[in-house]
């Protein structure tokens, strides 16, 4: 019974996270693209990462993956709920701070500034950090060997391939301004020393 409570928490968080993405993915007045680093590999990695979100939904909404269930103490689920709340807040806040400059692909548009305010003042990639937290929360909320760690496993290749390419694009476009930002901030964990 307790584990079904955490499945409901997961489902509610999933819906909230989806709403955040949908709201900020609305088309805006498009400006010319000045840097475009999209590749077929990016599309494949994004598709693979989406499996980390689809598998948990299959688990929560059907009995198909129940054969891989295990038990954890209730405190793990409550910890997962707290981590999920933090992940959703960080996802929302990073979208708010980026505003109209957010794009789900590796592109920079004309007149796009380097955003260094809000959560970007402390972390260069808060959306990636939010997804890592989401994955940890998912593993604590969904007590299933397949659905629980799915986000962590599916997100890892995207993170390892995309973040270095994204940072290279930012360096090429913003130069010393981005180098300075890199020295002040952590990649996904706030830098405690400067």
Say what the pTM is: 0.93
Higher pLDDT residue, 74 or 32?
A: 74
- The dihedrals phi and psi of 31, each to the nearest 5 degrees, come to -110, 165
Per-residue pLDDT at 104: 78
State mean pLDDT over 4-24: 95
Looking at every residue in the chain, the average pLDDT score rounds to 92
Separation of CA 24 from chain center: 14
pLDDT at 32: 78
Count the residues in the chain: 194
Token pair listed for 5: 């409570």
CB 14 within 8 A of CB 89: no
Write out pLDDT tens, residues 18-33. 999 999 877 655 667 7
Q: Return the percentage of the chain with pLDDT > 70, whole number.
A: 95
Domain locations along the chain: 2-26+33-184
Domain 2-26+33-184 carries which CATH code?
1.20.120.1630
For residue range 151-178, list pLDDT tens digits in order: 999 999 999 999 999 999 999 999 999 9
Identify the pLDDT of residue 100: 80
Give residue 81's pLDDT band: very low, low, confident or very high (50, 70, 90): very high
Convert the pLDDT of each residue in 110-127 to its tens digit.
Answer: 878 999 999 999 999 999
Give the pLDDT of residue 1: 53
pLDDT at 30: 64
Beta bridge partners of residue 186, listed in sequence order: 123
Distances (CA, A) of 70 to 22, 96, 116, 159: 33, 38, 43, 28
Q: What contacts 128, CB < 8 A, 6 or more positions away?
A: 159, 163, 187, 188
């Amino acid at each position: 019974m307790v584990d079904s409570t955490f499945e409901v928490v997961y489902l509610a968080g999933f819906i909230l996270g989806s709403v955040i993405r949908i709201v900020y993915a609305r088309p805006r007045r498009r400006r010319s693209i000045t840097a475009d680093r999209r590749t077929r590999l990016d599309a494949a990695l994004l598709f693979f990462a989406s499996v980390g979100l689809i598998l948990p939904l299959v688990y929560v909404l059907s009995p198909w993956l129940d054969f891989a269930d295990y038990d954890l103490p209730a405190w793990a689920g409550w910890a997962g709920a707290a981590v999920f709340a933090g992940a959703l807040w960080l996802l929302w806040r990073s979208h708010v701070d980026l505003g109209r400059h957010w794009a789900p692909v590796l592109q920079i548009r004309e007149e796009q500034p380097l955003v260094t305010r809000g959560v970007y003042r402390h972390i260069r990639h808060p959306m990636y950090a939010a997804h890592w937290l989401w994955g940890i929360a998912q593993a604590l909320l969904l007590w299933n060997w397949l659905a629980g760690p799915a986000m962590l496993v599916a997100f890892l290749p995207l993170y390892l391939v995309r973040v270095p390419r994204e940072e290279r694009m930012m360096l090429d476009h913003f130069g010393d301004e981005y180098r300075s930002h890199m020295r002040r901030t952590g990649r996904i964990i706030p830098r405690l020393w400067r």
